[in-house]
Amino acid sequence: MLIGIGSEDEFPTLYASGAEIAVTPSEIGRMIEFRAYRSGDTILLLRPKALSATRYRDLHKVSEGGGFFQVIGHDAVALTDQSAIDAFLALRAKVNRSAPVQEPVGRKVAIPYTIEEAEAILREYYSPKSLADVQAFAEMMLRQEPGTIKPHWVKMLARKYTGNAKRTPPEGWDGIMLDADGRPVHGGLEDKG
């Protein structure tokens, strides 16, 4: 499991970078107490200094040495000793914030989003969560006021990038396809324009 840790303002970036869940640093004590961080899990951070070296050692111990830590834009590492922790704390995130999606034709996008944000919303859409929960997640991801994003907007996003609005992903779907120019492929058909 990829666990994002950061402030609530950083949650959208963590989710867009692939985090399955996101928690604040204040919740780390409970993760350690309930052994919620296991061998094979990876903790993803935007700011590695959000946790102290002691917390990294505690998490390493809870995962029985099998957990990994990753700063966005870097490879995951195992923090086995103090020198590894020191090197990890010195890392800076390399956030690839793509420009908002621009439509070459048609109406201007009313709610701006990036491909990474759209993929995170679609991952939630294809999960067993209710449409209302997906809608709330999309509002949080895109930093919109509650009630701004309607359920049909989320369905249309799925339809736009997969060709249908079914709650199951198309066979072999692993994200939004891009054409040779880096533009998103709509509905599974390559953009010819």
Domain tally, the chain? 2
65 shares its domain with 113: no
**Residue range(s) defining the domain that contains residue 81:** 2-89
Q: Please tell me whether residues 107 and 23 are part of one structural domain.
A: no
58: DSSP letter: H
Torsion sign over Cα 79, 97, 92, 55: negative
Phi, psi torsion values for 152, nearest 5 degrees: -65, -25
pLDDT one digit per residue (tens) for the chain, 193 residues: 899 999 988 888 888 788 889 999 999 999 888 888 888 899 999 899 999 999 999 999 999 888 999 998 889 999 999 999 999 999 988 754 454 555 544 455 678 888 889 999 999 999 999 999 999 999 999 999 999 999 999 999 999 888 889 999 888 888 887 765 556 777 654 444 3
Structural tokens at position 80? 């086995």
| Per-residue pLDDT at 35 | 85
Nearest to 124 by CA among 144, 98, 101, 154: 154
3-state secondary structure 134-163: HHHHHHHHCCCCCCCCCHHHHHHHHHHHHC
**Looking at this protein, which amino acid is placed at residue 118?**
A
102 and 82 in a single domain? The answer is no
Is there a single domain that holds both residue 119 and residue 55? no
**How confident is the model at residue 191, as a pLDDT?**
40
What pLDDT does 105 receive? 46
- For Cα atoms 111, 117, 119, give the angle at the middle one, nearest 5 degrees: 120
- Both tokens of 145, joined, read 């006021």
